[in-house]
Amino acid sequence: MEYDLNDIVEMKKEHPCHKSKQWRIIRMGADIKIKCLGCGAAIMFDRSEFEKKLKKVVEHHPKTE
């Protein structure tokens, strides 16, 4: 599945805040850091764990060059 920095993604499980299943990717590298769009909490996963928990990409952020 294709994803990039600032994309909005949906995870398989809802965040404990119960406000959103959607997250924004805020950092990418060997680890991926995502921010909850409901409460603003940030969580970091290693790339393989993130890909297991990822359900779908909701919105791709437009690339600026």
Sign of the dihedral defined by the CA atoms of residues 36, 15, 7, 29, in that order: positive
Torsion angle of the four alpha carbons 40, 35, 27, 4, in this order, in degrees rounded to the nearest 10: -140
pLDDT confidence tier of residue 64, bands split at 50, 70 and 90: low
Residue ranges making up the domain that contains 19 = 8-59
For the chain, what is the domain count? 1
Q: Is residue 3 one of the residues assigned to a domain?
A: no
pLDDT at 15: 83
Residue linked to tokens 């599945």 = 1
Q: Quick one: pLDDT band at residue 65, thresholds 50, 70, 90?
A: low
DSSP state of 2: -
pLDDT tens readout for residues 3-62? 999 999 999 988 888 888 899 999 999 999 999 999 999 999 999 999 999 999 999 988
Residue 64 lies in a domain: no
Whether 25 is in a domain gets the answer: yes
